[in-house]
Amino acid sequence: MSFVSKAFVSTASGDKYVQQLIKHWSHRFETSYADGEGLVPFSDVASASFTSDPEGIRIVLRTSGAEEAETLRG
């Protein structure tokens, strides 16, 4: 079963922060970034996607369950 958590962070510098997050995680995972959208695949079943827009960053965390989601949020 898949578990999805969503969040929005208000900022005028969304694209800048998405790029920084993807670069940070690229040292441990095969990340991708293009046109304000980034992806961090933590495992075969867990990932985080980041999308910037003029108001901020939309974050979608996909995990195998609520417990894994809570661990990755930390």
Model pLDDT, residue 2 = 83
67: confidence class by pLDDT, cuts 50, 70, 90: confident
Burial class (CB in 10 A: 0-12, 13-18, 19+), 58: middle
Output the CA–CA distances (angstroms, integers) from residue 40 to 12, 56, 73, in the order listed.
22, 18, 13
Question: Per-residue pLDDT tens for 12-51?
Answer: 999 999 999 999 999 999 999 999 999 999 999 899 999 9
The gap between the terminal CA atoms of the chain, to the nearest Å, is: 21
pLDDT value at residue 69: 76
Asked whether the predicted pLDDT for residue 74 surpasses 70, the reply is no
Calpha distance 35→28 (Å, rounded): 22
Q: Where are the alpha helices (DSSP H) in 1-74?
A: 14-25, 66-73
Residue 49's pLDDT is 97
